Amino acid sequence: MLYVVTGPPAAGKSSWIQGHAGPRDIVIDLDLITRALTGPGAPGWNHDPLHQRVAQKARYAAIAEAEQLIDKLDVYLIHTLPKAKALIRYRRLGARIVEVDPGQDVVMARIDAMRSPEMKRVATRWYRERHTLKGTVRSAMPQSTGRW
């Protein structure tokens, strides 16, 4: 099964996955990929654009490979704000779309506390453009495994 986890920055998407994925599952999370590709002491968020560029290429490769395995294991993919074309592809694959959104006030406070100010722009765009999807699972609060 493919789970596409959407939501604004700092919503708790990674925490939701930590509460649902098992050790045999595949997790495709750009933050985790970037951390895996950078040296000790690199930030958990607010990555260098050059690091993100490499990590994004690795993410695309991971998605392409994982799509071939969704009948054998569960794949959790974070896609903050998928465009219509991506949603069509995910639906064709039988994906379950999960939206994690604790609310705009909570997200903005988390960004103030933990993320770069540019993430407010991304969060504002998410709230403006987000898609209301049939079959979307709405998770009002992230799992208790979060560090919030």
Residues 6+ apart with CB under 8 A from 115: 9, 10, 45, 46
pLDDT higher than threshold 90 for residue 136: no
pLDDT higher than threshold 70 for residue 45: no
pLDDT higher than threshold 90 for residue 109: yes
pLDDT higher than threshold 80 for residue 138: no
DSSP category for residue 143:
-
Average pLDDT over residues 115-144: 70
- 132 vs 55, higher pLDDT: 55
CA distance 137 to 114: 26
Residue 98 vs residues 31, 44, 46, 51, 113: alpha-carbon distances, Å: 18, 23, 24, 27, 25
Quick one: what percent of the chain has pLDDT higher than 90? 69
Nearest one of 97, 122, 86, 129 to 107, comparing CA atoms: 122
CB of 34 within 8 A of CB of 52? yes
CA distance 96 to 91: 8
Nearest one of 8, 32, 25 to 107, comparing CA atoms: 8
The pLDDT assigned to 145 comes to 40
CA distance 46 to 41: 13
- 46 vs 84, higher pLDDT: 84
- 139 vs 63, higher pLDDT: 63
- 38 vs 20, higher pLDDT: 20
Average pLDDT over residues 38-60: 83
What is the rounded average pLDDT for all residues in the chain? 87
Other beta carbons within 10 angstroms of residue 74's beta carbon come to 18
Which of 4-13, 50-59, 125-134 shows the lowest mean pLDDT across its residues? 125-134
The pLDDT assigned to 146 comes to 46
Average pLDDT over residues 3-32: 96
